[in-house]
């Protein structure tokens, strides 16, 4: 969920929400305390350095363990020297700069991106995320405003063809959309021995009793230097390499109901690539040229900054990012 931070009373609210998610995710008291402390520091920093901002407080599914992430986002002046700001005792606002250093110490994974005039994004992750050698994952998924469940879902697996990322956007929003998206991720996880087109076919069949979903999966063939992409319906897909950004092609349809063409498209990569999948809750008009260094930062920060600036607002919104490299 999104904790808006515009005044001091919202610091405690962000802390409460983060604590509740940590407890319901199965974190022990000590880990829950660390999550609460980071939420407090993030909220305090947003007020102090940017005036206002938001904290995305989300589960981040681990392989076997609970996981969650907090991402602080603002449109403030940005931090000119991130490394220096990390050192305790240094703060551009003239106060003891314990914020970023404390957040880094308390979290299991930490990353930051900031540029003058482009604001700041800070990630703190707790628990071990599902991953594989040479693969870094990030995502944000937030429900339709006012809903408590998100009708979009993503999933990662090392499938037959290689590391594979799936994103599903259940039709509409609310519980029925979430159920359709969850059927897609479960089927995806159970069919990792299949090739991409066969996996999507299985998802299409499994979704028949549900409301249906847009779905896309991207499989990285490391040996052949290809991204293999299969999409049904409106999921935005892009592969970013040293040669630039290539948008990937989905066919029209609704997985579970109408999918006349389930077809794989391939895109070359040179061993290093960033794959972005997003639901139509994000406008497709994003341009990475506006965000120097963002594509090389943590995938959850890339997902979160696109969310901050390009969320449409009247839909579930999800962005999942997979980076492969040496």
Question: Where do contacts with Mn ion occur on this chain (CB under 5 A)?
Answer: 169, 279-280, 315
Q: Least distance (Å) from Mn ion to the CB of residue 275?
A: 20
Q: Which is nearer to Mn ion, 72 or 320 (CB)?
A: 320
Q: Which is nearer to Mn ion, 58 or 315 (CB)?
A: 315
Q: Which is nearer to Mn ion, 16 or 314 (CB)?
A: 314
Q: How many CB atoms lie within 10 A of CB 23?
A: 15
Q: Which positions ≥6 away from 322 have C-beta within 8 Å?
A: 135, 136, 137, 156, 163, 165, 218, 220, 274, 275, 299
Q: Which residues of 255-294 are buried (b: 16+ CB within 10 A; e: fewer)?
A: bbbebeebbbbebebeeebbbbbbbbbbeeebebeebeeb
Residues in the chain: 326
Backbone angles phi, psi at 7, to 5 degrees: -150, 170
CA nearest neighbour of 275 among 143, 136, 174, 98: 136
Q: Least distance (Å) from Mn ion to the CB of residue 280?
A: 5
Q: Least distance (Å) from Mn ion to the CB of residue 142?
A: 12
Q: Which is nearer to Mn ion, 103 or 203 (CB)?
A: 203
Q: Which is nearer to Mn ion, 112 or 181 (CB)?
A: 181
Q: Least distance (Å) from Mn ion to the CB of residue 233?
A: 9
Q: How many CA atoms lie within 13 A of 48 on its CB side?
A: 18
Q: Least distance (Å) from Mn ion to the CB of residue 250?
A: 13
């Amino acid at each position: 969920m999104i904790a808006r931070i515009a005044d001091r009373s919202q610091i405690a609210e962000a802390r409460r929400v983060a604590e509740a998610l940590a407890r319901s995710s199965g974190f022990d008291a000590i880990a829950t305390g660390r999550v609460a402390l980071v939420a407090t520091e993030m909220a305090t920093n947003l007020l102090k350095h940017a005036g206002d901002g938001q904290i995305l407080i989300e589960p981040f599914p681990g392989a076997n363990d609970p996981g969650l992430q907090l991402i602080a986002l603002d449109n403030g002046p940005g931090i000119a020297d991130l490394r220096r700001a990390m050192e305790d005792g240094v703060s551009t606002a003239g106060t003891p700069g314990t914020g970023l250093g404390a957040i880094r110490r308390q979290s299991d994974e930490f990353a930051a991106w900031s540029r003058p005039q482009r604001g700041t994004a800070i990630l703190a992750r707790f628990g071990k995320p599902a991953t594989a050698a040479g693969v870094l994952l990030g995502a944000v998924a937030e429900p339709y405003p006012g809903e408590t469940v998100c009708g979009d879902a993503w999933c990662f697996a090392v499938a037959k063809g290689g590391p594979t990322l799936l994103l599903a956007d259940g039709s509409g929003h609310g519980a029925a959309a979430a159920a359709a998206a969850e059927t897609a991720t479960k089927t995806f996880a159970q069919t990792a021995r299949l090739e991409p087109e066969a996996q999507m076919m299985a998802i299409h069949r499994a979704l028949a009793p549900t409301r249906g979903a847009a779905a896309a999966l991207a499989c990285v063939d490391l040996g052949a230097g290809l991204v293999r992409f299969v999409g049904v319906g409106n999921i935005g897909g892009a592969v970013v390499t040293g040669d630039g950004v290539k948008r990937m092609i989905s066919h029209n349809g609704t997985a579970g109901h109408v999918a006349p063409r389930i077809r794989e498209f391939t895109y070359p990569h040179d061993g290093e690539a960033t794959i972005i999948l997003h639901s139509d809750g994000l406008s497709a008009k994003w341009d990475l040229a506006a965000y120097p260094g963002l594509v090389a930062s943590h995938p959850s920060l890339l997902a979160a900054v696109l969310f901050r600036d390009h969320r449409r607002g009247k839909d579930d919104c999800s962005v999942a990012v997979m980076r492969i490299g040496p």
